[in-house]
Amino acid sequence: MASLKELADLVISGDIEKVEAATQQLLDAGEDAMKVINEGLIPGINEVGDRFKEGEMFVPEMMMSAQAMKAGVELAKEKLGGAEIPTAGRVIMGTVAGDLHDIGKNLVAMMLESSGFNVVDLGVDVEADKFIAAVKEHNAQVIGMSALLTTTMPAMKEVIDELEEGGLRDSVKVMIGGAPVTQDYADEIGADGYAADAGNAIDLCKQLV
Ligand code: B1M
C-alpha cells in the first residue's frame, strides 16, 4: 500500500491514475479521508508550488499536479460525504474575479458541506455582481471568497464595496481566505473574518451565522 509520503510524491509527478489508485488504497485500508488530504495530497501540491517558485517546475506540470490532486480529493470527498446533516446556514462560495485557483476553495466548500452548511459554489473567476446576485437569490447568510494571487485580492474588496452600495452589507457576513490572504488584509477591507485553512473556515463560519 502507498504511504502518505508516496501519495505526495505522486501528486508532484502529476500522474492522475497513480494518485487515484494510491488514494483509493489508503481509503480502502481505513485511512482517515481528511488525513489523506492534509498529510498526502496537500503537502504534494505545496511542494509543487515551491518548485514552481524556484523555476524547477512549469505551468503545464503544475496543471497536471493540480488535476491529480483534484482527482484524489474527489475520492476522499466521496468518503467524507453521505451523512444527512441538518442545514447550519447557506454560504455562497467562489474564487474571485481573475483567479482560476479552485483546489482550496473546493476543499473549504466540501468541508462546509460535510459540516452541515448548504453551499452554493459559484466556481472560479467570479465577478462581484455575480456574488451579489447569488446572495439575493439564495438569501445567504455568508459569502466566502477565495484568492490565491496577490493581484486578485483587491477583487474581494470590490465585492464588499458592492454589498455596501446595494444596502446588503448588514444582512450578509463576509469570510475570506487563500494563501496570500491574512487577518490584517481582512481587517483592512472590512471582511467579517479570515480563515487560514479549511478547518478554521468551518469554525469561523459557525461563529458568523
Ligand atoms: Co498558481 N500560483 N498560478 N496555479 N498555483 C500559486 C498560487 C503561486 C503561489 C505559485 C508560486 O509562485 N509559488 C503563484 C501566486 C503568486 C502570487 O500571486 N503571490 C501562482 C501563479 C503565479 C500562477 C499563474 C499566474 C502562473 C502563470 O500562468 N504564470 C497562473 C494564474 C492563473 C489565474 O488564476 N488567473 C497560475 C495557474 C495555476 C494552475 C491553473 C496551473 C493551478 C491551479 C489549478 C486549480 O486550482 N484548479 C495552479 C496551482 C495548482 C498553484 C499552486 C501550486 C497550488 C495552489 C493550491 O491548490 N494549493 C500554488 C502554490 C501554493 O499555494 N503552494 C500556486 C493547495 C490548496 C489546498 O491550498 O488554495 O491555499 P490553498 O487553500 C487553503 C487555504 O488557503 C484556505 O483553505 C485551503 C485548504 O486548507 N483557503 C480558504 C482557501 N480559500 C479559502 C477561503 C476561505 C477560507 C480559507 O473562506 C472563504
Nine-digit cell string for 50? 515551491
* 3-state SS track over 146-167: ECCCCCCCHHHHHHHHHHHHCC
Q: What percent of the chain has pLDDT over 90?
A: 67
Average confidence (pLDDT) over 11-20:
95
In the sheet with 142-146, reading across from the earlier edge strand, the strands are: 117-121, 89-95, 142-146, 173-177, 193-194
* Least confident span in 71-80, 97-106, 110-119, 182-191: 110-119
Q: Are 74 and 105 in contact (CB under 8 A)?
A: no
CATH of domain 90-208: 3.40.50.280
* Residue 94 β-bridge partners: 145
Average confidence (pLDDT) over 52-81:
84
Pairwise CA distance, residues 197 & 22, whole Å: 24
What's the fold here for domain 4-80?
Answer: 1.10.1240
Of residues 198 and 7, the one with the higher pLDDT is 7
Residue 45 CB–ligand 1 contact under 6 Å: yes
Of residues 74 and 175, the one with the higher pLDDT is 175
149 CA to middle of ligand 1, Å? Answer: 7
First-to-last CA distance in the chain?
42
Distance (Å) of CA 50 to CA 40, 45, 54, 171, 186: 16, 9, 6, 40, 25
pLDDT tens-digit profile of 191-202? 999 999 877 888
CA nearest ligand 1 atom 77, residue: 197
pLDDT tens-digit profile of 36-50? 988 999 889 888 878
CA nearest ligand 1 atom 87, residue: 177
Pick from 56, 71, 62, 140: which is nearest to 101 by CA?
Answer: 62
Q: Tell me the pLDDT band of 82, cut-offs 50, 70 and 90.
A: low
Residue 1 CB–ligand 1 contact under 6 Å: no
Nine-digit cell string for 101? 485557483
What pLDDT does residue 84 have?
A: 44
Of residues 48 and 32, the one with the higher pLDDT is 32
Average confidence (pLDDT) over 84-100:
85
Residue 21 CB–ligand 1 contact under 6 Å: no
Give the count of alpha carbons within 13 A of 187, CB side only. Answer: 3
Average confidence (pLDDT) over 12-27:
96
Residue 91 CB–ligand 1 contact under 6 Å: no
CA nearest ligand 1 atom 85, residue: 177
Q: Are 181 and 194 in contact (CB under 8 A)?
A: yes
Pick from 105, 170, 111: which is nearest to 135 by CA?
Answer: 170
170 CA to middle of ligand 1, Å? Answer: 30
Average pLDDT for the chain: 91
Pick from 47, 33, 34, 53: which is nearest to 5 by CA?
Answer: 47
Residue 112 CB–ligand 1 contact under 6 Å: no
Of residues 84 and 148, the one with the higher pLDDT is 148
Average confidence (pLDDT) over 180-205:
93
Residue 114 CB–ligand 1 contact under 6 Å: no
ipTM (interface predicted TM):
0.99
pLDDT tens-digit profile of 102-122? 999 988 887 787 667 899 999
Is 53's pLDDT higher than 50?
A: yes
171 CA to middle of ligand 1, Å? Answer: 30
What pLDDT does residue 85 have?
A: 42
Pairwise CA distance, residues 109 & 118, whole Å: 9
Whether 90-208 and 4-80 are alike in CATH topology: the answer is: no
Ligand 1 pocket test target in 101, 110, 122 with most atoms within 8 Å of CB: 101
Q: In the chain, what are the domain boundaries?
A: 4-80, 90-208
